[in-house]
Amino acid sequence: MARLFDAYIVADWTAAETRKLGDNSLWIGVAKRDVRFRLYTETHNVATRAEGEALLNSLLADHRKRGDRVLVGFDFNLGYPAGTAARLKLSGAPWQAMWKFIAANVVDKADNTNNRYQVAAKMNRLMTDEAWPLWGAPAKQAQRWLTTTKPPQGTGDIPEFRATEDAARKGRLQPKSVWQMHGAGAVGGQTLVGIPAVRRLLEALGPSGAVWPFGTGWRALTPEDVAPLSALVVEVWPSMFDARPAEGEYKDQAQVRATAEALARLDDAGDLAGAFAPPKSAAPELIDRVEQEEGWILGV
């Protein structure tokens, strides 16, 4: 079976507010094949999100010149739990409305300073007028609509997790909720500063870029589906792959390398196409929710 992609890029994003390298900073892993079709991996570490975005654009431009198709994985949520866009009174396709809202509200400067906690508080104010559902902030960022620790659940039936996290939690994995903004493993901040970067990346790619499952449908993809694209963006979760750091490797560096290599091996084996499809048991309502609002983690 023909491979769907020629290269696999995995970005481990960060919500850091200062320039940072090494542990808990922004790493990008690239798995590709040499002239003899042997797989090899490069990793890159940059100090700011602006540098990370510029590097991704440069990598994708290089592959595009060669006519390559690239799978690009980001390690943060590309969608929010069902009903979020409606609570924010946003119109249009929920995932697009959320991306537009976040891009319009998040200020992320070249030196990594950003207003993610203020945006989280604004979302809480608009959704519930309580410090809920988003939670978690350093003491100096806490305010009426955002607490330092998880409050008792507020009013309303806002799901803590998306369907994909619920599915992952049935196994050994314990994903965090996108509502958690601060603390070990929190993904809420990365999501707020990450989505605008992905949106700009796709705008720059134009028709040669797409995002799964929102732009492709939640279904197995064929070489014909991927042929018009230079890049397909997906949500990944590196903890799903066994990433043991080699000597001298940082944990995040090992994760982007191992995830990119795992995706390449799935493609080599002909198993990647099916990973884009829903479980056989998925009801039409779930498929619609995933395609329109929540998204899905590739491989769950």
Burial of 280 (0-12, 13-18, 19+ CB in 10 A): exposed
Q: Give tens-digit pLDDT for 192-244.
A: 999 999 999 999 999 999 999 999 999 999 999 999 999 999 999 998 988 88
Cα–Cα distance between 154 and 95 in angstroms, integer? 24
**Rounded to 5°, angle at Cα 42 from 65 and 300:** 90
What are residue 12's DSSP bridge partners?
Answer: 27
For residue 154, what pLDDT is reported? 61
- For helices 188-205 and 116-127, the axis angle rounded to 10 degrees is 100
With a CB cutoff of 8 Å and minimum separation 6, the contacts of 278 are 218, 219, 286, 287, 290, 296
Cα–Cα distance between 95 and 191 in angstroms, integer? 13
Q: Residue count of the chain, please give it.
A: 300
Separation in Å, CA 95 to CA 77, 78, 130: 11, 8, 23
Cα–Cα distance between 133 and 131 in angstroms, integer? 7
Q: Give tens-digit pLDDT for 47-99.
A: 999 999 999 999 999 999 999 999 999 999 999 999 999 999 999 999 999 99
For residue 112, what pLDDT is reported? 97
SS3 label, residue 128: coil
Q: Give tens-digit pLDDT for 7-57.
A: 999 999 999 999 999 999 999 999 998 888 899 999 999 999 999 999 999
Cα–Cα distance between 208 and 201 in angstroms, integer? 11
* Rg of the Cα atoms in the chain: 19
The answer, yes or no, to whether residue 157 has pLDDT greater than 90, is no
Sign of CA dihedral 195, 197, 201, 206: positive
How many CA within 13 A on the CB side of residue 191? Answer: 29
Q: Give tens-digit pLDDT for 241-273.
A: 888 888 899 999 999 999 999 999 999 999 999
Model confidence band, residue 172 (pLDDT cutoffs 50, 70, 90): confident
Q: Are 221 and 4 in contact (CB under 8 A)?
A: yes
Phi/psi at 6 (nearest 5 deg)? -100, -25
Phi/psi at 110 (nearest 5 deg)? -60, -25
For residue 37, what pLDDT is reported? 84
SS3 label, residue 48: coil
Cα–Cα nearest to 191, from 139, 286, 120: 120
For residue 1, what pLDDT is reported? 64
Q: Give tens-digit pLDDT for 101-154.
A: 999 999 999 999 999 999 999 999 999 999 999 999 999 999 999 999 998 876
The answer, yes or no, to whether residue 169 has pLDDT greater than 90, is no
In the numeric block, the tokens 């902030």 are attached to 137
The answer, yes or no, to whether residue 184 has pLDDT greater than 90, is no
